[in-house]
Amino acid sequence: MHNTVITWQRKRNEVTREIRYAKLNYQNKKIDQINSGNIHVKEWYKLTKQLFNKQSSTTIPTLKYEGKTASDDIDKVNLLNTVFCKQATIDSEPDDLPTNFPCADSRLLSFAISPQDVKDAVSVVDPSKACSPDMIIN
């Protein structure tokens, strides 16, 4: 019985050592990958987050606005809605607008786009980005 316990402890210690070695080796590979210099920005942030094991919080902290405090989700939604509505409110009485606008005399008489212009514009598009609602990739 005593021999079995000692054997088990040795095997456990070996496994623990191997796990620690594998973790250290994994982290060193990731650090080397980050420091290599030829890594995409998104991948760099992803690896950094993995290495430092930062858990991102998905909760919104307590909000305060004009003396009101919102701590639960419903109150936060209502408070944010109030703030956004105030930002988007348009006065019903328009300000006096100028009656005479200056007339622009300049006109675009010709418009030329070369195939190279199109290639240059397309080459800077990031294919990993989502397109906007009008289906144009930014």
pLDDT in tens, 34-89: 777 777 888 877 877 776 765 656 677 888 888 888 888 899 898 888 888 887 76
pLDDT in tens, 99-126: 777 777 777 778 888 889 888 888 887 7
Place of tokens 């994994």: 26
pTM: 0.33
What value does the mean pLDDT take over residues 8-36? 88
How many degrees, rounded to 5, is the angle at CA 77 between CA 72 and CA 79? 95
Evaluate if residue 26 carries a pLDDT over 70.
Answer: yes
Give the pair of three-digit tokens for residue 39. Answer: 């890594």
Residue 137 DSSP label: B
